[in-house]
Structure formats: C-alpha cells, structure tokens
C-alpha cells in the first residue's frame, strides 16, 4: 500500500522568503505525482503534474522536482507572498491517487 508523507506539517515564513515543501512516497512504481493547493474549507486546485519520466516541472514561481527512485518530490515556491498561504497536498498516482496529509503554509506580511 502506498504511503505518502509530507514534511513539515506546518510552515510559517516572512513574505519574500522561498518555500521548500517535501513529499516522500514508499512505492516508486508510480505514473505521476500531482501537487495541489487547498484553501480552508475549499476544494483542491491543481498546481503541477509531473510524470514519472520527468525530473521537474515549472509554472511561474512554482517548481516541482521528482526523484522517483528515491521516492521524493519537492515543491519550491519562490519569493513567497501572503496569497500563497494555504495547505499544499502531494498526491501520488500508482493507478490510484494517494495523498499526503499536507503542509500548511502561512506567509506573514
């Protein structure tokens, strides 16, 4: 059974600092990995989808890396803003989508 772990569980940074969110998974036989953002009480917004054959994906200030063999992915958010405050979820697709518990980010103005 796929186990997905996200570290840290919570993170508070001043505005402008870069964010580094970590995700690890136990079974490396995956098709892809997807990072989502969730605002309180809301649904999930897809940020980046990275295929198992890719090493990284970028969108604006966001960059996700994937090291499938070691079962790790990292989401980098450059020059954080208060609007980046949310919970970030990592989901691994090995035919089913398995989620981590998320990292709750607070960016202080």
Partner 1 sequence: ETGVTQTPRHLVMGMTNKKSLKCEQHLGHNAMYWYKQSAKKPLELMFVYSLEERVENNSVPSRFSPECPNSSHLFLHLHTLQPEDSALYLCASSQRDVTRGYTFGSGTRLTVV
User: Torsion angle, CA of 60/17/36/105, rounded to 10 degrees?
Assistant: -160
User: Torsion angle, CA of 20/35/1/8, rounded to 10 degrees?
Assistant: 30
Contact 34, 52 (CB under 8 A): no
Instruction: Using the minimum distance from each CB to partner 1, give the nearer residue, 11 or 49.
Output: 49
Q: Does 41 bind partner 1 (CB under 8 A)?
A: yes
| Shortest reach from residue 95's CB to partner 1, in Å | 6
Q: Does 1 bind partner 1 (CB under 8 A)?
A: no
**Range 63-102, binding partner 1 (CB under 8 A):** 89, 91, 93, 95-102
Binding test (CB under 8 A) with partner 1, winner from 46, 58, 70, 81:
46
């Amino acid at each position: 059974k796929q186990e997905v772990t996200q570290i840290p569980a919570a993170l508070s940074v001043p505005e402008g600092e870069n964010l580094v969110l970590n995700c690890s998974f136990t079974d490396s036989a995956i098709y892809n990995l997807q990072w989502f953002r969730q605002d309180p009480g809301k649904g999930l917004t897809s940020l980046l989808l990275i295929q198992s054959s890719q090493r990284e994906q970028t969108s604006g200030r966001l960059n996700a890396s994937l090291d499938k063999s070691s079962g790790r992915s990292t989401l980098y958010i450059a020059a954080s803003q208060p609007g980046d405050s949310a919970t970030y979820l990592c989901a691994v697709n090995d035919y089913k989508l398995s989620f981590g518990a998320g990292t709750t980010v607070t960016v202080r103005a």
